[in-house]
Chains A and B, each alone.
Chain A
Amino acid sequence: MMELAAQVPPTVQIHGIDITSGLFPTSYPDNIQFSVNSVTSLPESWTSSYYFLHQRFLIAALTKDMWKSATTEMFRVLVKGGWVELVEPAIGSMFPSVGPHSTKVWSMTTSYRGIITSPHTHIPELLLEANYKYSNVKR
Chain B
Amino acid sequence: MLNARTFGYMHSEEEYDAMVAGAKEEWLSCDAELVLYTFSAQKPM
Residues of chain A at the chain B interface (Cβ within 8 Å): 75, 78-91, 94, 97-102, 104-105, 107-109, 111-112, 119-120, 123-124, 127-128, 131-139
Give the nearest-CB partner of B41 in chain A.
A132
Is the interface on chain B under 10, 10 to 19, 20 to 34, or 35 or more residues? 20 to 34
Q: Is the CB of A136 within 8 A of B43?
A: no
Cross-chain pairs A/B with CB under 8 angstroms, 23 sampled: A80-B45, A82-B43, A84-B40, A84-B43, A86-B38, A86-B40, A88-B39, A89-B34, A90-B36, A94-B34, A98-B27, A99-B22, A101-B19, A102-B22, A108-B6, A108-B9, A123-B37, A132-B43, A133-B42, A135-B39, A137-B37, A138-B38, A139-B35
Q: How far is the CB of B19 from chain A (nearest CB, A)?
A: 5
Q: For the complex of A and B, list the 9 residue pairs with the smallest distance between their C-beta atoms, beginning with the closest.
A: A101-B22, A99-B26, A132-B41, A111-B7, A101-B23, A133-B44, A127-B41, A86-B39, A90-B35
Residues of chain B at the chain A interface (Cβ within 8 Å): 1, 4, 6-7, 9-10, 19-23, 25-27, 30, 32, 34-45
From A89, A123, A135, give the contact of B35 (CB < 8 A): A89
Q: Is the CB of A88 within 8 A of B41?
A: no
Give the nearest-CB partner of B10 in chain A.
A108
Given contacts A98-B32, A99-B30, contact A119 B37 (CB under 8 A): yes
Given contacts A89-B35, A108-B7, contact A135 B30 (CB under 8 A): no
Q: Which of B6, B37, B44 is packed against the most chain A CB atoms within 10 Å?
A: B37
Residues of chain B contacted by A91 (CB below 8 angstroms)? 34
Residues of chain A contacted by B44 (CB below 8 angstroms)? 80-81, 131-133
